[in-house]
Each structure stands twice: as structure tokens, then as C-alpha cells.
Amino acid sequence: MLSSSKSEADLNGVGPVPSPAAVREQLKRLLAHPLFANSKRYPVLLAYTVEQTLLGNSSELKERTIGVEAFGRDPLYDVNLDPVVRTTAAEVRKRLIQYYYNHPGELLIELPVGSYVANFSEPDASQATSTPVAPPAETGQAAFEEMFATTPYPPEPRLSEHGRLHWIPITAGLIFALLAGFGLGRIRFPRQPSSLQLFWQPITSGSGRVTYCLGEPVDATDREQIDLSQGMPLNGGLDVSDVITLAQSIAPLVPRHDAFRVVSASGTEFAQLREGPDVLIGAFDNIWTMRVTQDLPFGFESENHIREIVDRKSSQKRIWTLQWQVPYKKLARDYAIVARIHDNVTGQPVIILAGILGEGTEAASEVVSNPVYLNALLQKASRNWEHFNLEAVIETNVIEGQPGPPRVVAVATW
């Protein structure tokens, strides 16, 4: 058993740290939030690691000890066959990030990657004051109509070396080869706005630089037990499906030349997302997608090794999850979210193209680049959809690792 003889003041931080009473008060707020209250395992691990850190037992917070004392495992259990602590910690980290995305001014509790020792810190006053306040309730039609107003593009500076990723040279040839092959030829906007033009208008008509934020493969310690690499080949540290999606969706911005940038999820700062419109690609490998979708009608959730899309707003709760021909090896069906919203936190229009796995992400890109599939989606949306937030769930059958034609299974506008 862990010893509680150490002083509560022996916290793991450096310099001034919050008092144990303040930390425990913040812990209560976290545990009461639906991100934790609706789960059995996540609040247990969070409360245990925070309390033991406060008691000064940081050096004894090991995977096996947590498994035994927090989850009731046998002292000799195999941590490789039963990775409950690792997988739960991975989800707790993600949910903490999601929580503080909407609560930037609160005392910060973190569980760093590779450690089970909690960190505590007071909120950064400058960051808290710079975080945008959500607009009032009338951010529906009025905000969108203002956002969709056509404005001329100001001169854009070229992408700095700081903003370029090491993998851009690797993927640039693929992106522009795809553009030359089908991107520019597919999207031809007539004088009368087409459905594709209307859909992309919040992005193409914005005055700021567009940020394309791509997901990254999950760290090996957080991959749970599902072999997510099947059908998801990697190139330069990225999922090739995300790169293909980037190539599909970047065509409407080609005339703007340097008016967009491409960054990875880990390399994207909140300040960048506030500078102009955003396109988020990938779901569980893109923390910004997880943050922005956490309060949408359709969103991503994961528990007990099952990753799924859930309908949060309907009285009849619907769930869409992966289907396999060979469990965790040969994928048969994937699902994705296509969203076109005005994000109150960043104050910017956002388009989301995200599948549970890479095949779903590719299917989402087909919807927003092919008029046939997009029109099928819009037929299920409400009238005057262009003035509202729009979100849809997409289904695709997967054959030999390749996504088939996308099919719209649910649509929400608000």
C-alpha cells in the first residue's frame, strides 16, 4: 500500500504551487463534469493520482501499484495483458485537455505523458485574459451571415520556417500531384454559387490565413489494444489518409496561393487557430478535433477499447462504431464526421473532416470535394443550411483497406 506519511506540501511542481485545499476543490469540479462523471474508470484514476501526489507519494505512483490499489487488480497481475492503467491514463489526459479548453481560467491539474504523477499550477493570467469569450446566444444565423460575407483577401505573408514541419517536403509532391490530377479539375465554380462553393465559403471568404491542422499517430503507450495501424500507413509521422484528405480539401484555396498553412496537431497553437478559418483533419489523432467536437450534436468518444461516434442531442441515443471482418485486423466499415461550424471559443469558422480511423477521414474528404456526395448530404439538411452550423455522420464500407463511396446516415443543423 502507498504510504501517506509524507507531507502534503511535498508536491511535484517547481516554485509556487496551489494549496492542497485548492487542488482538491478543483478536483471536485473535474469529477462532477460529464467528461469524468459519465465514466467508471476515469474519475477513479484521476482522483487517485491527484490525492497520492498531494500526500507526497509521487515516487510510488507506478502502473502496477495503481492497478492494484485503484482498480483492484491482483498484486501479481500482468500489466501487458491488462493495460487498464495505461489506457485509462491516456483517456484522462485527453479529457483534461478537453475540459480546460472551455475552462481556461481554472486551477490546472495535468497528468503528463509518461508519468502518473499529477502536476498542479495556477492559471496563466495573461492566457486567461486573452482567451475569447463565447459570443452571445445569437451566434447562429447572424454570426454565420456575417462570417460568410465575401471580403477581399489582403496580402498574405509567406509561411515562415517556424511554421513548416519537417514532413512537408515529403508530402508536398503527393499533395500537388493529387491536386493536378483531380482537385482543380473537379471543383469549377460557376457564376451562380454551387453547393461546393457555398459549403467552403466560410473558409474561402475569410480575411485571415487558413490553418489546416492534421492529426498525428497516437503514441505507442496510448494505443490501447486495438492495432490502429491496419489500413493507416504512415509517412513522415503522419497518417497517409490525413494527407490525402488535405489534398482533397485544399483545392478551393489554391487560388489564394500562400493564404493557408499546414501544421500538425501537436504543433498547432491556440493563437494560430484564432488568426483565421480552420480545417481540422483526423479525430482521435487530433486533439483539436476532440476539443472542438466535444459539445457538438455528434462527437467522438472512447471507453473500454471501443472508439465510436455518438449522438448526444437526440432523445434516442445513436452510436456508430467500427465493424471488422477480422477483429482489429481487417476493417469492414468506418464512420466519420463532416462539420461546418462557427466555433465560439476561437471565434472562427471551422470545417472538420474526421473519421474514427483513416478510411473514414478519407470518406469525409470525398463528401466535401465531390458535388454528388455533398448534394446528398445537403438534401438531408434543413433549408437555408448555409446560414447555420451543419454536422453530419458519414458511413463508408472498406474493401481491401480502401474506403468505398460515402453515405450520409445522420445530419444536424442549428
208 with 269, same domain?
A: yes
The verdict on residue 10 lying in a domain is no
174 with 290, same domain?
A: yes
Lowest average pLDDT, out of 41-55, 103-117, 176-190, 250-264, goes to 176-190
Per the model's pLDDT, the better-predicted residue between 255 and 14 turns out to be 255
Last-in-domain residue among 106, 130, 154: 130
Over residues 305-310, the mean pLDDT reads 90
Structure confidence at residue 221 (pLDDT):
33
**For residue 264, what are the domain limits?**
141-413
Over residues 242-246, the mean pLDDT reads 78
Lowest average pLDDT, out of 23-32, 140-149, 310-319, goes to 140-149
Structure confidence at residue 155 (pLDDT):
39
Structure confidence at residue 281 (pLDDT):
94
292 with 379, same domain?
A: yes
Structure confidence at residue 364 (pLDDT):
95
Over residues 78-98, the mean pLDDT reads 90
The verdict on residue 283 lying in a domain is yes
Q: Are the C-beta atoms of residues 282 and 291 closer than 8 Å to each other?
A: no
> What pLDDT band is residue 266 in, cutting at 50, 70 and 90?
confident
- Based on the number of CB atoms within 10 Å of its own CB, is 293 exposed (0-12), middle (13-18) or buried (19 or more)? buried
The verdict on residue 180 lying in a domain is yes
The verdict on residue 284 lying in a domain is yes
319 with 284, same domain?
A: yes
The verdict on residue 97 lying in a domain is yes
92 with 218, same domain?
A: no
User: Does the structure show a pLDDT above 50 at 363?
Assistant: yes
342 with 372, same domain?
A: yes
42 with 75, same domain?
A: yes
Per the model's pLDDT, the better-predicted residue between 33 and 155 turns out to be 33
> What pLDDT band is residue 175 in, cutting at 50, 70 and 90?
low
258 with 120, same domain?
A: no
Residue 401 and residue 103: Cα distance in Å, rounded? 40
Last-in-domain residue among 130, 165, 197: 130
Last-in-domain residue among 130, 165, 182: 130
97 with 150, same domain?
A: no
User: Does the structure show a pLDDT above 80 at 332?
Assistant: yes
The verdict on residue 261 lying in a domain is yes
Looking at the structure of the chain, the number of domains it has is 2
217 with 346, same domain?
A: yes
pLDDT, the chain, mean: 78
The verdict on residue 358 lying in a domain is yes
Over residues 266-280, the mean pLDDT reads 90
Specify the DSSP element, H or E, that contains 51.
Answer: helix 41-54
Q: Quickly count: other Cβ atoms within 10 Å of residue 162's Cβ.
A: 6
331 with 309, same domain?
A: yes
Structure confidence at residue 191 (pLDDT):
60
Residues 6+ apart with CB under 8 A from 372: none
Query: Which region holds residue 328: left if phi is over 0, alpha if psi is between -120 and 50, else beta?
Result: left
Per the model's pLDDT, the better-predicted residue between 252 and 132 turns out to be 252
> What pLDDT band is residue 15 in, cutting at 50, 70 and 90?
very low
293 with 315, same domain?
A: yes
User: Does the structure show a pLDDT above 90 at 397?
Assistant: yes
The verdict on residue 160 lying in a domain is yes
